[in-house]
Amino acid sequence: MVLLPLLALQASAQEKPGSFSEYKKMYADVNELIISDKSSYDIFVEDKKLRVLRSKYYESMIMSENGIQNNEEDFSYSELVKLKEYEAFSIVNDKGKERKIKVTQTNEKQSRQNGVFYNDVKERQLIFPNLEAGARKVYSVQTEFLDPFLLQSYIFGSGYPMLDSTLEVRADKDITIGYRIFNDPDNTIEFSKSEKKGKFIYRWTLKNVKAIKMEPNNPGFRYFIPHINIYVKDYTVDSKKINVLDNTEKLYDYYKAFTKNLNKTEDTELKAITAELVAGLTVDNEKVKKIFYWVKDNIKYIAFENGYEGFIPREAALVCKRKFGDCKDMASITSAMAHYAGVKNVTVSWVGTRDIPYSYEELSTPAVDNHMIAVYNDNGNYIFLDATDRETRYGIPTAFIQGKEVLISNGDTYKIIRVPVVAAENNEAAGVIKLSLDKEKIVGSGAFSYSGYSRSNILSQLGDASGKTRFEMIKSLVLMGSNKFYLKDYTEANIQDRDKPYQVNFNFELDDYAIQVDKELYINLCMDHTYEKLTLEPDRVTSYDLDYLSSENVIYNLEIPKNYSVKYLPDNFSLDNDVMKADFKYTNSGGIISLAAKIQIKKILLEKADFALWTETIKKLKSAYTQTLILIEK
């Protein structure tokens, strides 16, 4: 098999582009226009092995002076996706003629992914020279996939408008290709299948693609950008069909090869640690909880992915010795220690994080998941043991796998179950605020407690901060009323005890909060306007991800000054709809004005169909926040 020359790729990828003036009329307000983004796979059998080559051609035009700053492009490769060759150049206007200027400034750097300490993915950065309005950036790259199970999705979209976005697959006739298209409800992606020189050619094209706007708190690009996942179903060698991917059974066959020999050799050191840890415990659930917390406290989470190390869990003995590991390693040592403790039904499992929208039935390829955990089957009650989040308590999953399917390993068989979404009341922020008045100044004390994800989210942010830094972070956490809030002191409790709510007790003052007008004193008792600023833009397209369901339950108690009485007590407020439940209740009893304010979020992901209701809900909530108590001097 001879590699297709890069210049031939360029010639076949795009017809002669239009002129700068023509494009400027159609795209007057953009800095850059992508003329062509084409990827192609060549899939064939050579020397009785399946080979997969991918070629990419990219061409764009600078459309403005500001666009000149976009002089960089990059592409990636790794130990499992080998770089074969590439070339890149600028095309500029030289006295009415096109002139190519080769890219000579390139840099190879390690790819940085969130939460990953090291991986083997490299990025080649290209710096395009002599750019000006009307100049074009062109590059071509060829890579080879050493593992046919790991083909990558193709995205029909970019941050810039695109004239032509195309994926092509050329495969021998005895190779069966599968594919799934996502986020194309109107079937705008054109598909064709043809035959040429003994090969099937599959082509998917989308023309005149609008620029993609990445809105804040979107659930992940796979939820809304059109894309396609292709995979090899099977191929034939010497009249024998070899299966690759097609369903969950075949995906699990691929995965179990990475775990079938895991922790088969007993490690005396880890077994002794486990025995000492669970000594005196007779209930399996308590043993698993003890082990789970030990892993969180003693094994530092460091994601380290290099080739197949990104798929194969390391031996529990090695993880114990090194005292660090990635998600797979933490699942490995958790399941091994449970085995040493005599607890059955703790196994390694695969799961996708919430930014991956697919189910195992929708897409039975490695693109369906990106995370590993241990799962404990406690007589049908599944406990999800993800030690990568240090703060999450035993019994609830990590927030970023809520609602996702888990592929649980059981030797030659598997089971798929769904991770529950943790109820809002289990993620409660509760507080009692005691208030008194010194003329127009508020003097107060507060006691807050945070459970579930509210607890783990706060403690993850606080980390090991101390001194002035921690003081300012706590102040930001409990701040209320206005920016004149003065935190005098605070204490914390249950920082280390994951099974108890994290607590903060504090004293504060708030100058000029009450407003005196003649004999009347105006006070807004609702001092924390939660969700007031969470408004959705009218033209928002993508869903809004709230991360987890939450609940807030705060009681404000104001001591009425002795020389004052109540002139006006605000009306109670309540609402209950598909996105939120809220209840504000005012009472006057025994010289104390109380406001019990409760808010509960009911959807973890706000879909576009929810936007109007959410906007109306926030409007009503804002109105409730403005209600003012009036005291009058006797």
SS3 per-residue string spanning 206-269: EEEECCCCCCCCCCCHHHCCCEEEEEEEEEEECCEEEECCCCHHHHHHHHHHHHCCCCCCCCHH
Angle (nearest 5°) at CA 422 between 419 and 428: 160
Report pLDDT for 11. Answer: 45
% of the chain exceeding 90 in pLDDT: 91
Mean pLDDT of 237-262: 95
Least confident piece of the model among 7-11, 275-279, 396-400, 542-546 = 7-11
In angstroms, the CA 169 to CA 539 distance is: 36
pLDDT above 50 for 8: no
Q: Taking a C-beta distance cutoff of 8 angstroms, is the pair 226, 37 a contact?
A: no
Confidence class for position 116, pLDDT limits 50, 70, 90: very low
% of the chain exceeding 70 in pLDDT: 95
Residue 129 CB burial class (10 angstroms; 0-12, 13-18, ≥19): middle
pLDDT above 80 for 468: yes
Confidence class for position 560, pLDDT limits 50, 70, 90: very high
Would you state the structure tokens that stand for residue 86, as one six-digit string? Answer: 């590439």
In angstroms, the CA 559 to CA 219 distance is: 45
Between these two residues, 120 and 473, which has the higher pLDDT value? Answer: 473
Tokens 């190390």 belong to 309
pLDDT above 90 for 583: yes
Confidence class for position 143, pLDDT limits 50, 70, 90: very high
Mean pLDDT of 536-554: 96
* DSSP designation for 456: H
Neighbours of 425 (CB within 10 A): 13
Would you state the structure tokens that stand for residue 454, as one six-digit string? Answer: 């509210």
Report pLDDT for 582. Answer: 98
Sequence-ordered list of residues with C-beta below 8 angstroms from that of 230, at least 6 positions apart, any chain: 41, 151, 154, 167, 169, 177, 178, 179
Confidence class for position 110, pLDDT limits 50, 70, 90: confident
Mean pLDDT of 31-50: 96
Q: Taking a C-beta distance cutoff of 8 angstroms, is the pair 631, 520 a contact?
A: yes
Report pLDDT for 114. Answer: 53
Report pLDDT for 117. Answer: 43
Residue 207's closest CA among 168, 158, 166? 166
What is the rounded radius of gyration, in angstroms, for the C-alpha atoms of the chain? 30
Sequence-ordered list of residues with C-beta below 8 angstroms from that of 475, at least 6 positions apart, any chain: 485, 487
In angstroms, the CA 460 to CA 114 distance is: 16
In angstroms, the CA 504 to CA 483 distance is: 20
Report pLDDT for 6. Answer: 52
Confidence class for position 633, pLDDT limits 50, 70, 90: very high
CA distances from 566 to 87, 473, 511 (A): 79, 36, 22
Report pLDDT for 322. Answer: 95
Mean pLDDT of 620-630: 96
Report pLDDT for 16. Answer: 73
Amino acid residing at 448: F
- Average pLDDT over the chain reads 94
Confidence class for position 109, pLDDT limits 50, 70, 90: confident
Tokens 């210049």 belong to 7
pLDDT above 70 for 242: yes
Whether the CA torsion 340, 343, 349, 351 is positive or negative: it is: negative
pLDDT above 60 for 272: yes
Q: Whole-prediction pTM value? A: 0.92
Amino acid residing at 213: K
Mean pLDDT of 139-161: 96
In angstroms, the CA 139 to CA 40 distance is: 14
Residue pLDDT, tens place only, 292-347: 999 999 999 987 666 666 788 999 999 999 999 999 999 999 999 999 999 999 99
Sequence-ordered list of residues with C-beta below 8 angstroms from that of 471, at least 6 positions apart, any chain: 487, 490
Mean pLDDT of 470-481: 97
Report pLDDT for 303. Answer: 78
Report pLDDT for 7. Answer: 44
